[in-house]
Amino acid sequence: MLKILHTADIHLGTKFSGLGNKSNLQREQLRTTFKNVIATAINEGVNIVLIAGDLFDANQQPQRNIDLVIEQFHLLKEKNIPVCLVPGTHDSFDSSSIYRKVDFEGKCSNLKIFT
């Protein structure tokens, strides 16, 4: 049986400007949630992870979010779990795309970005 973990709309890097001094806490919650999704994929022994849009909230991201994604995808690679990712409306694959600026596929051989 094929086990698929499907997720979308994680929105790493969301500003949460309306939250004032709680915005940093909420951004950390997003990062923690993403790590929990990856841990669930590993713990459940899924065959593939599908990310269907908006992993990032915008194409401009702090390096720590880029590093987090690469680190988490490497954890999946260690368990031979491929990742299929489709850019969304917030991290679209245009001329300023984060997926053009950062060679995620080169850094994560288990990743395929569909454009």
The residues annotated as belonging to the active site are 90
Contact partners, residue 105, CB within 8 Å, separation at least 6: 111, 112, 113
Q: Comparing C-alpha atoms, which of 85, 109, 105, 87 is closest to residue 96?
A: 87
Contact 86, 56 (CB under 8 A): no
Residue tagged 């680190």 (tokens): 71
Sheet holding 48-52, edge to edge: 4-7, 48-52, 83-86, 111-113
